[in-house]
Structure 1
Amino acid sequence: MLDLILCVDDDPITLMLCKKVIIKASFSNTIITAKNGEEALEYFNSIINKKEINNLPNLIFLDLNMPVMDGWEFLENFSTNKYSEVNTIKIVVLSSTIDPEDLQKSKKYPMVIDFLSKPITTSMLNYLESKI
């Protein structure tokens, strides 16, 4: 079981479902959420500024299509030296579409360990346990 997971998605129903499935599967003790990439980066900025590197999520579930800052923009920013203390966290892209171009593009980011189709399921979490 993981200590902490960050779910980044603009859809409150998807976030609620994500939390329920993770809790039901006993996959993580704590689940935190962000509504877009910008909110997620603000969370990491706060951790870096407060030097609370021990409070990092073990895994990030990241949506691609969000307002304000989408998943691609988050990945671009998160890959920079500014986040070098935290950008080794494993990321699973959760998308409503499985576009082969998006799958290829996601492989550019070493922290992305998988690209899965929404919605999250317990079988998905069982599969991911072997990758974490």
Structure 2
Amino acid sequence: MELNSLFLLIEDNLIDQLVTKQLLKKVFSIEQVSIANNGKEGIQWLNNNKRINSQPLIILLDIQMPIMNGFEFLDEFHKLSKDAKKGVQIYVLSSTLDPDEIKLIEENEYVTDFLNKPFPIEELKTKFLW
């Protein structure tokens, strides 16, 4: 299965970064996965990598990170231009069991879906088809 999308993984855990990149490469034949170690780097990546509107962007977003967490990233993402947000799908990857956090994730207008860690590759196969 091959996807014609850009991927941005916003994740501070190096092991999760490596595992996610390898799974995306193996299952979806994705060669290039950009990495941001926190939400601040994720926003900087979006500002520095203006993309062609026809190419979708999938963001895999962790919640618990230093410097700028996933919720703070979503707040900053909201401030971006409509063009910058066009064609972006955000999947929150988290191991949180906190019902308040889950509610915030599910109610956020920019979050496409909430997925539990570890990385649910079989579930993503059905979600990444458009």
TM-score (norm 1): 0.84
Question: How far off is 1:73 after superposition?
Answer: 0.2
On the 8 A contact 2:59/2:90 being kept in 1, the answer is: yes
Alpha-carbon distance between aligned partners in 2 of 1:2 and 1:117, rounded to the nearest angstrom: 24
On the 8 A contact 1:6/1:33 being kept in 2, the answer is: yes
Runs of 4 or more, structure 1, over 6 Å off, are: none
The residue correspondences of 1:81-92 to structure 2 (distance < 5 A) are 82-88=80-86, 89-92=88-91
Q: Note the alpha carbon deviations across 1:104-130, whole angstroms, 9 max, x for none.
A: 111332221111111113212213224
CA RMSD of aligned residues (A): 1.9
Distance verdict in 2 for CA 1:128–1:62, change over 3 Å: same
**Alignment-mate amino acid for residue 102 of structure 1:** E
On the 8 A contact 1:8/1:36 being kept in 2, the answer is: yes
TM-score (norm 2): 0.85
On the 8 A contact 1:36/1:66 being kept in 2, the answer is: yes
Q: Note the alpha carbon deviations across 1:75-129, whole angstroms, 9 max, x for none.
A: 001011x343222411000002233222211133222111111111321221322
In structure 2, list runs of 5 or more residues that go unmatched: none
Q: Secondary structure at the match of 1:2?
A: coil
Corresponding residue of 1:58: 57
On the 8 A contact 2:61/2:90 being kept in 1, the answer is: yes
Corresponding residue of 1:42: 44
